[in-house]
Amino acid sequence: MLSIMKLPRLVTINQVPKVFHEHGIISGYRNPHSSATDCILSLFQLTNETLNIWTHFVPTWYFLWKLVSMVLIQTAWQHAFTWPLVVLSISTCIYPLASSCAHTFNSMSPRVRHMCFYFDYAALSLYSLGTAVTYSAYVFPDKWVNSVFHQCFIPVALLNSVICTGLSCYSRLGSPFLHPNHDVVKRFPKCKSPRFSKVLRLLAFAYPYLFDSIPLFFRLFLCEGEGCTDNDANFFHYTHIALAFLTGFLFATRLPERLAPGSFDYFGHSHQLFHVFGILGTHFQMMAVEQDMLLRRPWLFDHSLPINFTNSLGVSLLCLLANLIIILIFSLPLISAPIGQTTKHKRQVKAH
Q: How many CA atoms lie within 13 A of 230 on its CB side?
A: 8
* Under 8 Å between Cβ of 100 and 56: yes
Q: What is the mean pLDDT of residues 289-297?
A: 96
In this prediction the pTM is 0.91
Instruction: Look at residue 52 and tell me whether its pLDDT is greater than 60.
Output: yes
Q: What is the mean pLDDT of residues 228-246?
A: 96
Instruction: Look at residue 189 and tell me whether its pLDDT is greater than 60.
Output: no
How far is 341 from 352, CA to CA, in rounded Å?
17
pLDDT at position 344 is 45
Instruction: Look at residue 307 and tell me whether its pLDDT is greater than 80.
Output: yes
- For 75, the enclosing helix (H) or strand (E) is none
Q: What is the DSSP letter of 69?
A: I
Q: What are the backbone dihedrals phi and psi of residue 29, each rounded to the nearest 5 degrees, phi first?
A: -80, 145
With CA atoms as reference, report the closest residue to 104 among 55, 138, 159: 55
In degrees, to the nearest 5, what angle opens at C-alpha 166 toward C-alphas 161 and 171? 125
Average pLDDT, the chain: 89
Instruction: Look at residue 187 and tell me whether its pLDDT is greater than 80.
Output: no
Q: What is the mean pLDDT of residues 223-238?
A: 93
Alpha carbon 323 to chain centroid, angstroms? 13
In this prediction, residue 141 has a pLDDT band, given cuts at 50, 70 and 90, of very high
In this prediction, residue 241 has a pLDDT band, given cuts at 50, 70 and 90, of very high
How far is 62 from 48, CA to CA, in rounded Å?
24
How far is 311 from 155, CA to CA, in rounded Å?
9
With CA atoms as reference, report the closest residue to 99 among 63, 62, 52: 52
Q: What is the mean pLDDT of residues 12-33?
A: 93
Query: What's the pLDDT tens digit per position in 72-100?
Result: 777 767 889 999 999 999 999 999 999 99
Q: What is the mean pLDDT of residues 234-244?
A: 97
Instruction: Look at residue 118 and tell me whether its pLDDT is greater than 70.
Output: yes
With CA atoms as reference, report the closest residue to 143 among 38, 62, 223: 223
Q: How many CA atoms lie within 13 A of 73 on its CB side?
A: 6
